[in-house]
Amino acid sequence: MSCPLIGTMIMHISIIGSVPRFVTIHAVLLALLMGPGCASLDPDRELKATAEATRRVSENIDPAEAWSLPVEGESPAWNGADSLTYEAAVAVSLQGNPGIRRNLAVVVERRAWYVQEGLPPNPTVGFGIGIAVDGMSGAPMMVQGLQMLSWLWKNPHRVAAAEAELRAAVYDAAFGCVDVTMRTRTQMAAVLAAQDLLRYDLTYTDITDQTVRLVEAQVEAGELPALELDRAQLEHQEAIESVVASEYSLEQAKLALLGTMGRPTDSTSWVAAGELPPVWNIPDDERTLLELAITGRLDIASAREAVLKIQAELGLAETEKFPEIGIGLGYRRNAGDRKSVSPEMKITVPILDNGDPAIAIQTARLDAALMELLATIENAQAGVLTSLSRYEQSRDRARLIRTQQLKIARTAQQRSDAAFREGVVDLNTLLMTQRQLIAVERNLVLQELMTMEAMCELRTSVGGSFDPTLDAAPIIVIEAKSSDSGQEESS
């Protein structure tokens, strides 16, 4: 990328024309002084850093590859008809979620802002040509050039602040990906749970239908009154109603997932495939999880960059105590055709505004940023411990239901069905055991869903991964020349 300032100075030099060689040399030296301030606008390095920080969401998915695809285009991970897995849902979300692309656009914007802050101010060039009004020959002419030099001690602070903002944008974009994948996995689990609930409701409908047929036979044989048949039919109709509700709940869960994936209008005729909950290697030590959160939380890394940004702005505010200095060169020709070159200097003395208010403002902002960083760290720690407790609670409850309650409920239902056929128990006992079985089965699904939700919350609380090699927040180095190609194109 060519530096626009050098082109501007060349244009100014060509306009001067007959100005003495000393003025031309001065302008060229000034252009060379400005040249190092130009940097590449190419955000490729920062986008790669964002992709690397996002790899924590899945070891099998390349975020950069997903972002290279059209946001509304077809996904190679899933065609919209095959069975949908956790990994496929995450891959589609990384490609199609508009919020992720918006965050990437902010990274590009911050890269451009970083380049902007590194540029020195444009020089000021003034022209003046006089016209003789007394009828005599000769006309005065004036050419002046002025360049402010205060940027020499101001721009390092501006660049440092822009670097911090750029790094924060990278962390925020990666953190947004972690949040999207967490919601994707949670909603995927909700679809799996809705499928299981629908299956249990259909099974319960079959059970109540068999009960109706059995009661009908006993009523026709005169063994039971017609009232018992009415009760059995009512139970069957309530089971059918539950099936209808579960079908709509499944459809709504799929629509919510498709919305997060960036495919809100896709068909819901597909089937979700996967375990509820999946098997993750989750550390059971609180200390390990807290250490993962401190080193891996991207919002904490972003909050640290906010502190660095304000520290740089505080340094910039302290330069308000220094005079504003500008140097220039003037060329004049009077009506008598006498020519002169005059060096010039402009100094703004900080007497009335000595910079103290600006320093006080930035000092207060720095204190607030430090407290915000502390609050972010404490919220992360609280989130880890809370989500860990929820995970352990739902996991233990699901294990108890699966190993104890479900077995007892199924055995009770089978025994009551056999006893009812033999006339040992009445219809009340049969219906009660059937309702208990479906209630236990549904409760197990809900507890497994809560387990998955808590697992996703815990994974997000520690930074997005339970693997320390993936979870650590990367150190991002901002360079003026973003890539090799950028170095060749930049001046």
Looking at the chain, the whole-number percentage of residues with pLDDT higher than 90 is: 58
Residue 24: band (very low, low, confident or very high) from pLDDT cuts 50, 70, 90: very low
Residue 38: band (very low, low, confident or very high) from pLDDT cuts 50, 70, 90: low
Q: What does the pLDDT look like over 447-475, one tens digit per residue?
A: 999 999 999 999 999 999 999 888 888 89
- Residue spans of the domains in the chain: they are 22-481
Is 350 in contact with 322 (CB distance < 8 Å)? yes
**Is residue 192 predicted with pLDDT exceeding 90?**
yes
One-letter amino acid of 299: D
Distance CA(294)–CA(290), nearest Å, equals: 6
Distance CA(17)–CA(12), nearest Å, equals: 9
**Is residue 7 predicted with pLDDT exceeding 70?**
no
Distance CA(301)–CA(376), nearest Å, equals: 10
Residue at token pair 């989130």: 383
State residue 95's pLDDT score.
94
Residue 340: band (very low, low, confident or very high) from pLDDT cuts 50, 70, 90: confident
* Cα angle value 247/251/252 (rounded, 5°): 115
Cα-Cα-Cα-Cα torsion 429, 434, 437, 442, nearest 10 degrees, comes to -130
**And the tokens for 369?**
């940023």
* Among the listed residues 51, 48, 53, the one whose alpha carbon sits nearest the alpha carbon of residue 464: 53
**And the tokens for 71?**
């946001």
Q: What does the pLDDT look like over 269-306, one tens digit per residue?
A: 999 999 999 999 999 889 999 999 999 999 999 999 99
Q: Which residues contact 311 (CB under 8 A, 6 or more apart)?
A: 160, 366
Residue 441: band (very low, low, confident or very high) from pLDDT cuts 50, 70, 90: very high
Distance CA(402)–CA(417), nearest Å, equals: 22
Q: What are phi and psi of 163, to 5 degrees?
A: -60, -45
Is 449 in contact with 276 (CB distance < 8 Å)? yes
pTM value is 0.83
The one-character DSSP state at 272 is B
Per the document, the length of the chain is 491
Residue 137: band (very low, low, confident or very high) from pLDDT cuts 50, 70, 90: low
State residue 258's pLDDT score.
96
Distance CA(235)–CA(310), nearest Å, equals: 67
Distance CA(419)–CA(348), nearest Å, equals: 101
Distance CA(171)–CA(119), nearest Å, equals: 25
> CATH fold of 22-481, please?
Outer membrane efflux proteins (OEP) (1.20.1600)
CA distances to 178, 261, 307, 335 from 460, in Å:
7, 18, 23, 77
DSSP labels for 17-48? -SS-HHHHHHHHHHHHHHGGG------HHHHH
**Is residue 18 predicted with pLDDT exceeding 80?**
no
